Amino acid sequence: MTNKEIASAFNDLAKIMELHQENPFKIRSYSNAYLSLRKLETPLNEMPDAELGSIKGIGKAIVGKVRELEENGKLETMEKYTSITPPGVQEMLQIKGFGPKKVRVVWKDLGAETIGELLYACNENRLIELKGFGHKTQEDLKAKLEYFLNSKDKFHYASLEPLAVELLAKVQEQLPNILVAQTGALRRRCPILKGIDLLVGTQENLQAKLESLFEIQNEAERSLQGRSANNIPITIWKCTPEEFGSKQFRYTGGDGFIDAFLKKVKVDDFRGITSEEGVFEKANIPFIAPELRDWEDALDLATNNELPKLIEVEDVKGVIHSHTTYSDGLHSLKDMAIYAKDQGFEYIGITDHSKSAFYANGLQPERVYQQMEEIDRLNKELAPFKIFKGIESDILNDGSLDYDADLLGAFDFIIASVHSNLKMDEAKATHRIITAVENEFTSMLGHPTGRLLLSREGYPLDHQKVIDACAANGVSIEINANPYRLDLDWTWVPYALEKGVKLSINPDAHSKGGIHDIRFGVFAGRKGGLTAADCVNCFDAAGFITEMRKS
């Protein structure tokens, strides 16, 4: 098990114990273990007991449970609680913002044991009389439940990509002389997936050859379906080698794009085309990258020979939006800078949390100046690599930024983001963000909707008004590359580009490894037609900082 998986096991244990009103001291110890273990870089199985036990928040009992997890993959204590907790109630504990105390109330006092029952109770206004609930709380919970159900059995692209790459390699090993490739939404690099789709250039029976790779549930003439060991749906599409190109085109999709394509080109028969490029050649249309095939306008661009040269991961020259141990990052400022430099980047923008983000150890003014002094020293040491002095300033409830004007003016650039008071209607959220965008010190708007994919929907926003405000005020917008955010959503990239707003692909890195999330932001940007020329951290250091400073 990975460190994160072990840490999550303690978090789950703390929640279910709180649900059962167990010893608060034990609950707190497991919660602290979660917070400590998830930050460790060294694999826990490589750490001696004495070293592990010396870490703050980790004692002898926790060490024992860590070893139990490593050996058995589960905790006997957790098994005890899950055996006396209905599966639907356990599922409720997964809903963000619906804590164990409230889950216990609806379970014990209302008798709801499934999410479906609880949603029905919300519709019947049965929660408003419960302790700790009211009409507003009930409506908020109802929205959370509906979002949870709509997100169920879906997966982040980032979580499936390594499994898909591994599966593809294993399938190719079992079928050495047969064409095998990714297809479907996976190939289009959609942020959210329902499973892994591969295409193989054979129609022979595959069950005997692939049954050792995953659990096969059904095989038909054109497909084979099953599930991975961790319950990920897998579909293997089959075709003849001669039609591999045409089938790759059709199975890649998306549906709207395929329909528009076939209506436009008026070619009914693509059979016998072995390469996908051949399909486009027969249609007399330039090849359209798979990422663009969720965007029907890409077809018009292609027919007019106006397809953009899409951004590549290698185009990104600077790491923008990174956190250090000054706030809630795992690594020091120096470690983050050296790591970015070693990865081939030309600069890094340090943007720790501002003072209002107390939950993230936000920087009080004196610590800001302390950090700036360290950046000055490191810039001399690491030149020509450049460290820019930034901050992720909270957008306060009235739309103002953290800190006074003198301090705000001392930064090289400022990312303005909403982190608190997220329960806003569209008018409130839009006004709050536009107010921040109009602030003379705002350089860039961070994660515009505050969403967490498959976990939190994010506040509603009039994207058009916000983008127009960014255009009018010379403010860039980030595509937050954390695969759980990918915010600005790719569907708004074309409008931003149309309005002349520059974007920035930002990893929101809270560790050295988090820097590599840039690639997921690039994939999202590509889906919206983003080019390197429209991405500010594809510029060199001088070009970047010029874009950040309003004229």
- In sequence order, what are the beta bridge partners of 192? 156
Averaged pLDDT for residues 514-532 = 97
255-294 pLDDT, tens digit per residue, is 889 988 988 887 666 777 889 999 999 999 999 999 999 9
How far is residue 24 CA from its own chain's centroid?
A: 33
> Based on the domain organization, do 262 and 396 belong to the same domain?
no
- Tell me whether residue 308 is in a domain: no
The strand pair at 223-227 and 318-322 is best described as unpaired
Averaged pLDDT for residues 542-547 = 97
> Based on the domain organization, do 9 and 61 belong to the same domain?
yes
Which phi and psi (to 5°) does residue 298 adopt? -60, -30
> E-strand spans in 265-404?
318-322, 347-350, 386-394
- The domain of 526 spans 313-548
Cα angle: 541, vertex 545, 546; to 5 degrees:
115
**Per-residue pLDDT at 117 exceeds 80:** yes
Amino acid at 549: R
Of 303, 326, 358, the domain-final residue: 303
Please choose, from the candidates 91, 69, 94, the residue with its C-alpha nearest in 3D space to the C-alpha of residue 79: 69
Instruction: Give this prediction's pTM.
Output: 0.86
> Based on the domain organization, do 252 and 182 belong to the same domain?
yes
Please choose, from the candidates 296, 291, 250, the residue with its C-alpha nearest in 3D space to the C-alpha of residue 273: 250
Containing 218, the helix (H) or strand (E) segment is strand 215-219
Sign of the CA dihedral with 211 first, then 216, 219, and 222 last: negative
Q: Which residue has the higher pLDDT, 313 or 330?
A: 313
> Based on the domain organization, do 47 and 145 belong to the same domain?
yes
CB distance 470 to 504 below 8 Å: no
> Based on the domain organization, do 210 and 138 belong to the same domain?
no
pLDDT at 455: 84
Whole-angstrom distance, CA of residue 537 vs CA of residue 348: 9
Of 126-140, 201-215, 352-366, 426-440, the one with minimum mean pLDDT is 126-140
**Per-residue pLDDT at 35 exceeds 70:** yes
- Tell me whether residue 220 is in a domain: yes
* Residue 126 pLDDT grade (very low, low, confident, very high; cuts 50, 70, 90): confident
399-412 pLDDT, tens digit per residue, is 999 999 999 999 99
Q: State the average pLDDT for the chain.
A: 94
> Based on the domain organization, do 117 and 217 belong to the same domain?
no
CATH number, domain of 420, equals 3.20.20.140
> Based on the domain organization, do 194 and 46 belong to the same domain?
no
pLDDT at 164: 97
> Based on the domain organization, do 61 and 209 belong to the same domain?
no
- Tell me whether residue 71 is in a domain: yes
Containing 477, the helix (H) or strand (E) segment is strand 476-480
SS3 of 10-73:
HHHHHHHHHHCCCCHHHHHHHHHHHHHHCCCCCCHHHCCHHHHHCCCCCCHHHHHHHHHHHHHC
Number of C-alpha atoms within 13 angstroms, CB side, residue 313?
Answer: 12
pLDDT at 270: 74
Of 303, 332, 353, the domain-final residue: 303
> Based on the domain organization, do 486 and 340 belong to the same domain?
yes
Averaged pLDDT for residues 6-21 = 96
| Per-residue tokens: 198 | 């591969």
Rg (CA), the chain: 26
Residues 6+ apart with CB under 8 A from 321: 349, 351, 390, 392, 415, 446, 478, 480, 504, 506, 507, 508, 509
Place of tokens 């953290």: 402
pLDDT at 226: 96
80-114 pLDDT, tens digit per residue, is 999 999 999 999 999 988 999 999 999 999 999 99
> Based on the domain organization, do 241 and 373 belong to the same domain?
no
Residues 6+ apart with CB under 8 A from 283: 261, 265, 267
> Based on the domain organization, do 296 and 178 belong to the same domain?
yes
Whole-angstrom distance, CA of residue 243 vs CA of residue 149: 38
- Report the number of distinct structural domains present in the chain: 3
36 burial (CB, 10 Å; 0-12 / 13-18 / 19+) is middle
CB distance 402 to 439 below 8 Å: no
pLDDT at 301: 93
CATH number, domain of 267, equals 3.30.460.10
The strand pair at 180-182 and 196-200 is best described as antiparallel
> Based on the domain organization, do 342 and 465 belong to the same domain?
yes
* Residue 131 pLDDT grade (very low, low, confident, very high; cuts 50, 70, 90): confident
